[in-house]
Amino acid sequence: MSVIVTVTLVAGNLGLIFLLMTVPLGLRTVTVSRVIKADRNRLWQALWPFGSDAGWSGEILSAEPLDGEGTALIKLSWEGRDGRPIERKARFEDVVDGSRFSMRVVEDTALDPSFWANYRETAELVSEGDATRVTLTQTDRYRGVAFLIFRFFAMRRELRKLDVWAATGTYRKGGWFEHPVSQVGFAVLSALILWPFFGLNLGGLALAAILTSVVALHELGHMAAFRLTGHRRARMIFIPLLGGIAIGGRPYDSRFEVAFVALMGAGFSAFLVPVLIAASGFAGSEGHRLAAVMLATLAGCASLFNIANLVPVWKFDGGQVLRQICPGPVALALASFFLLSALLALGWRAGFSPSFLLIAGAVFSILSLITMGSGVKPRHELKPIQPFDRLAMAGALLAVFAIHGYGMLWASAHLM
């Protein structure tokens, strides 16, 4: 891959990450509307949290008024960090029975109240002949377009599922986006997008497919960690060009859980890299040169990708692990400096040019600044990590780094 292509790819990804996660958008209103062939009162009973069909989607378990001023306590089916349903205190305004209502969230048991400071949602129903036009509106303050886009499609999905429920009386869970077939399609699309960067030939296609497979294995490690820490549901979503993301079924409960889930992305591949190296050596000794090269390439890509994820960038796995195990800002700064220095030294030893490593260091610094503070603050502090767990995670981090570092050096020696 030429320097120009590399710079273009990196700059494009940085710009896309800034646009998705950081660019200040201020107060924005998202509106979706759909005409549903159903009686307005029936749809009102489904959308109004106190309606007789408020549990049509399974999201609302119960709703009860707290006072005579429109404040209510709503119990949701979403799991909190303790595994119990999330409870949300909401205030209802501008209520016109059968036609419209607005809602503000005062607080809930999952997120800090500041998350809801600018949030407001409105539902409006207008009869159109024998059908009803349902309009949903959400207003909030946004940084980055990712959450804005998510809410738009979530609202569209809600209306589409409401339409199906009105016609059939049943609620269908899930959707096409997270369906396994769709995710396989996104993975294929991701490989095809990467293909031109590696050369429009069979070798370039193989590299793109290998990198996509490495991303999938990395996220599979995160999903396994979610399950091991008690998340009853976990899923992986492929995002073409940007990679993939593993999503748990509830908020994190402890700092150890955050560190363990973050490290297991690279930790899972750390079990595979030695196997790939041994298999490549065996294939080469048996005269299967192409298979040996493919296995060595897979080992090298897995090592490079996962060790890059261990850099101390705010939203990268390494940054998340260090923030949980370091007892203070001084220790965090020293550990981050040590880890980044070790990564750059490893890159120099593997044959990367000093100018490339300087650019890489600058890119990691920019990424850390872009993503710093972009997480959502929980309602309550996470459970602290115990001294033994802190040492265990530190040792595991060093072991995973060493395994991938060896794999990176081995691959560079055998493929160059």
DSSP 106-134: EEESSB-GGGGTT-EEEEEEEEETTEEEE
CA 185 from chain center: how many Å? 18
Cα separations in angstroms, 112 against 107, 115, 251: 7, 6, 12
Give the model confidence (pLDDT) of 331-371 as tens digits: 988 998 888 888 888 888 888 777 777 777 777 777 666 66
383-387: long-range contacts at Cβ-Cβ below 8 A with a sequence spacing of 24 or more? 383/253, 383/254, 383/255, 383/256, 384/254, 384/255, 385/254, 385/255, 385/256, 385/259, 385/324, 385/325, 386/256
143-147, 227-231, 289-293: which range is least confident on average?
Answer: 143-147
pLDDT tops 60 at residue 162:
yes
Helices 354-371 and 329-350: crossing angle in degrees, nearest 10, is 150
pLDDT of residue 62: 93
CA 69 from chain center: how many Å? 38
Taking the CA atoms of residue 365, residue 366, residue 367 and residue 371 in that order, the dihedral angle to the nearest 10 degrees is: 110
Q: Report the C-alpha gap between 41 and 134 in whole angstroms.
A: 12
Q: Which residue has the tokens 């960067």?
A: 197
For 383: left if phi > 0, alpha if psi spans -120 to 50, otherwise beta; the answer is beta
**Average pLDDT of the residues in 154-181:** 87
Q: Which two tokens stand for residue 290?
A: 């192409």
Q: Report the C-alpha gap between 353 and 283 in whole angstroms.
A: 31
Q: Report the C-alpha gap between 19 and 36 in whole angstroms.
A: 35
Q: Which residue has the tokens 């700092």?
A: 255
Confidence category of residue 11, pLDDT binned at 50, 70, 90: low
Amino acid identity of residue 368, one-letter, is S
pLDDT of residue 56: 94
**Spatial CA neighbour of 258 closest among 309, 308, 324:** 324
Per the CB < 8 A criterion, the answer to whether 63 and 47 are in contact is no
126: Cβ contacts below 8 Å, ≥ 6 apart: 40, 99, 132, 133, 135
**Average pLDDT of the residues in 223-235:** 89
- Beta-strand pair 24-36/60-65: unpaired
Q: Which residue has the tokens 């981090």?
A: 397
Q: Which two tokens stand for residue 389?
A: 């767990």
Element (H, E) at 36: strand 24-36
pLDDT of residue 374: 61
Cα separations in angstroms, 111 against 90, 116, 147, 372, 389: 14, 8, 15, 18, 26
pLDDT of residue 202: 87
Cα separations in angstroms, 44 against 97, 119, 169, 277: 8, 22, 15, 62
For 252: left if phi > 0, alpha if psi spans -120 to 50, otherwise beta; the answer is beta
Cα separations in angstroms, 134 against 50, 122, 160, 168, 175: 18, 11, 11, 18, 20
Q: Report the C-alpha gap between 323 and 308 in whole angstroms.
A: 17
- Taken in order 63, 66, 71, 77, the sign of the CA dihedral is negative
**Average pLDDT of the residues in 10-35:** 81
Confidence category of residue 260, pLDDT binned at 50, 70, 90: very high
Amino acid identity of residue 254, one-letter, is S
Q: Which residue has the tokens 């005269």?
A: 287
- Which span out of 190-194, 256-260, 282-286, 288-292 was modeled with the highest average pLDDT? 256-260
